[in-house]
Amino acid sequence: MFKTETIEKRIDELLEKMTLEEKIGQLYQSGISPVGGFEISIQEAEQLLEAGRIGRKEYERLVNAASFDEREDMIRKGTVGSFIGVQNPEHANHLQRIAVEESRLGIPLIFGLDVVHGHRTVFPSPIAEACTFNDELFEKSAEIAAREASEDGINWTFAPMVDVSRDPRWGRVVEGPGEDTYLASRFAAAKVRGFQGDDLSVEDRICACVKHFAAYGACEGGRDYNTVDMSEAKLREVYLPPFAAAVKAGAATLMPAFNDINGSPCTTNKWLLNDYLRDELGFDGFLISDAHGIQECVFHGTAETPADAAEQAIKAGCDMDMGCEYYTDCLPQLLEEGRVSMDEIDRAVRNILRIKMACGLFEHPYVQKPEKSSKLCAEHRDVARDIADRSIVLLKNDGVLPLKADQKVLVVGYFGDKRNEMLGAWVISGREEDAISLTDALKEENIDFDFVPCIDSSITSMTLDKEQLEDALRNTKADTVIALVGESSFTTGEAQSKSKLELIGGQTEMLRMIKAAGKKLVTLLINGRPLAIPQEAEMSDAMVECWQLGIEAGHAMYDVIYGKYNPSGRLSMTFPQNSGSCPMYYNHMNTGRPASDGPWASKYRDCPYTPVFPFGWGLSYTEYDYSNLTVKTECDKLVISADITNIGNMEGEETVQVYIHRRRASHTRPVRELKAYKKVYLQPGETEKVTVELSRNELGYYNNEPRYITEESMFDIFVAHDSTGGLHSEIYF
Ligand code: GLC
């Protein structure tokens, strides 16, 4: 990917000149503060000090000199190679000028930031965007994010997050593409293309950093940072493919995950970071630890001292240290003691310099202010609205939707006017004032509505004001109520695992009171993970999954519930009956006693064994008919085709999903596996033939050795609207 004779020669020449201190400096990324690069309060600094996450020296610096960056001397001495958290061009150029013009060798800095789903133009959270099943949009939003971030001096984003996860108790499902490996792999490749383009040195492109490598989404119990234990076969089948797809698409960097895999922390896992990633996949970019990830190996217990952690990490292939200075503090001594070789240090420096050169940072280190900023421009907002429209999933509709523009409605719920709740998790540069709430959009469209929040603004209790609701229901002339319920975006994302997926506070009671008052109930879910909402779905006349849709949230919710856009989203994750049913996912094994209505079956006796809403689910205001399924073999490929007809009276977009089930294998196989999806846009009455080809290699699996097996088998083939139904055929292949 990035290795060329010219670049490697340039690196050799530079390495020759570098002192040990300058080499180790390239391996250190500093933050403006020690916690992932964000300004922190004195209280947080004190907590960090007490927790041993920072030393007294760092604490003093934070407390006394947060307003300016003491690290300027470090830059002059060449003992820092990168910053996280710088997000304005003047600050970036100020620090860069010191590096390029005042340090001995003038090696430029590389600036990183978490630009996960947009920079100033904030797009839907990834779990929502994945519901579009639209690779072009995955790529487009990343391209726009790169254009806006690069204006602010950012050359590198810690995204895409491509952790497959089957357990919504894990708060970070919001940051990723959901439960399916195939969808996550297409998402990963599209994001790398969008962020990086074909040439990293082009001004408005930035390096991707694919994370968290690997299997972080399989943390036991859905509990963040928890241990991960699985066979290599499962690791290779479910969790590694999105990273392989990203590397194949040319990813410049990766970030090892906090968790261990089978007892070996990813940060110091040589098989993962070197043997699999570099020797098997041919990756030639660089790896940066997650925040303090090297230090955390001491907490994991696999490293007794900071020196052990530094030695294990550099030997495993973790090139850059985000934030804990273990390389800075320990590598000189480790080299002296012969525990680490100069070659191992040079290898890490070489990987980092290779990407800095590929970015053209040596030739154009400074960010040029564009004549006209692209941030929040009309084109970007239009794309954000389009993606938000398509991320919405119509879960249930008894006909109450779409609403008519002239009908009066009552809007209730905490989220109705909360712009800041529309942005989602991991939003650093997005601003509340840029976002549109539902009530903003209804006002713009002159809809006749009343808004009564009824729920207090405490995001951890969400207490219902019954009197306020009773008054509103008694006094309104509206026969339809739009109720917004869910979870605050501030309780989703990192370190936000939950043991309960049910709605908190009085939200369910609010829905119940609305129904008891004889009103039509349109429930909009505002959430960052699948919630356990069987009873709420039951009592709603319509239910719409609105996730965290970004700055255009209100416009998109209006577009869908008023029929300006025919909903086309399909769920990227399964909605379980309750927390106790987790993990629940579509591509599960059949077991020897498949779940059924009978007594002796693999299920819980106190709740249904089917999900409330399955992976791939989503309704439309029209209807699609699937017919004429044919499956045949041609030149050692499976050729699958079917006719899709819009049999309703509204144009719309359908996501045709192709699943297989392998009947013969020496290893248990999922009841279904998504192997392809295609979008079709159909006018009423229109039919389109959708054809998909699958190679033998795409139908293989890993046995316990693990070895990849592509033996012949009878296959079930499904061409479907979601992961439960569809046309079925079988073929021996
Ligand atoms: C965090 C996250 C990671 C993020 C990093 C820098 O702890 O795990 O996803 O990129 O710190 O902010």
Distance CA 466, CA 455 (A): 9
Q: What is the predicted pLDDT for the residue at 43?
A: 67
Domain 381-581, CATH class in plain words: alpha beta
Q: What is the predicted pLDDT for the residue at 34?
A: 46
Helix, strand, or coil (residue 17): helix
| Ligand 1 center from residue 113 Cα (angstroms) | 9
Q: What is the predicted pLDDT for the residue at 47?
A: 79
Does the pLDDT of residue 584 top 80, yes or no?
yes
Does the pLDDT of residue 540 top 60, yes or no?
yes
* Pair of tokens at residue 443: 């006002």
**Protein residues with CB under 6 Å of any ligand 1 atom:** 36-37, 114, 158, 211, 290-291, 494
Q: Which segments within 85-165 are labelled E, that is strand?
A: 110-113, 156-157
- Asked if 501 and 531 touch (Cβ cutoff 8 Å), the reply is yes
Q: What is the predicted pLDDT for the residue at 721?
A: 97
Rounded average pLDDT over 627-634: 98
| Ligand 1 center from residue 247 Cα (angstroms) | 20
Pocket probe for ligand 1: among 158, 162, 212, 266, the residue whose CB has the most ligand atoms within 8 Å is: 158
Does the pLDDT of residue 35 top 70, yes or no?
no
Nearest CA, atom 1, ligand 1: 291
Task: CATH number for 5-358: choose from 3.40.50.720, 3.50.50.60, 3.20.20.300, 3.40.50.10490.
Answer: 3.20.20.300
Instruction: Decide if domain 624-732 falls under CATH 3.40.50.970.
Output: no
| Ligand 1 center from residue 638 Cα (angstroms) | 41
One-letter amino acid at 431 equals R
Distance CA 130, CA 178 (A): 7
What angle, 0 to 180 degrees and rounded to 10, lies between the N-to-C axes of helices 181-196 and 135-151? 40
Does the pLDDT of residue 385 top 50, yes or no?
yes
Q: Compute the Cα dihedral for 629, 634, 638, 644 and give only its sign.
A: negative
pLDDT bracket for residue 56 (50, 70, 90): confident
Rounded average pLDDT over 294-309: 98
Distance CA 607, CA 534 (A): 10
Domain ranges of the chain: 5-358, 381-581, 624-732
In sequence order, the 6+-apart residues with CB closer than 8 A to the CB of 553 are 388, 422, 435, 436, 437, 438, 546
Pocket probe for ligand 1: among 114, 156, 224, the residue whose CB has the most ligand atoms within 8 Å is: 114
* Pair of tokens at residue 15: 């390495």
| Ligand 1 center from residue 158 Cα (angstroms) | 7
| Ligand 1 center from residue 212 Cα (angstroms) | 9
Does the pLDDT of residue 12 top 70, yes or no?
yes
Torsions phi, psi of 476, nearest 5? Answer: -75, 150
In sequence order, the 6+-apart residues with CB closer than 8 A to the CB of 378 are none
Q: Is-catalytic flag, 180? A: no
Helix H segments across 30-82? 42-51, 56-65, 71-77
Pocket probe for ligand 1: among 30, 111, 290, 428, the residue whose CB has the most ligand atoms within 8 Å is: 290
Distance CA 183, CA 186 (A): 5
* Pair of tokens at residue 91: 């600050």
Q: How many helices (H) and strands (E) does the chain have?
A: 22, 25
Nearest CA, atom 8, ligand 1: 290
Q: What is the predicted pLDDT for the residue at 73?
A: 84
Looking from the CA of residue 37, the nearest atom of ligand 1 is 12
If you count them, how many residues does the chain have? 733
Residue 455, strand partner residues: 464
Rounded average pLDDT over 338-358: 98
Does the pLDDT of residue 453 top 80, yes or no?
yes
In sequence order, the 6+-apart residues with CB closer than 8 A to the CB of 670 are 587, 588, 589, 661
Catalytic residue among 135, 163, 260, 290: 290
Q: What is the predicted pLDDT for the residue at 554?
A: 98
Per residue in 402-428, pLDDT (tens digit) is 999 999 999 999 999 999 999 999 999
Q: Which region among 84-93, 397-406, 446-455, 608-617 has the lowest average model confidence (pLDDT)?
A: 84-93
Q: What is the predicted pLDDT for the residue at 72?
A: 83
Distance CA 533, CA 549 (A): 20
Model pTM score: 0.95
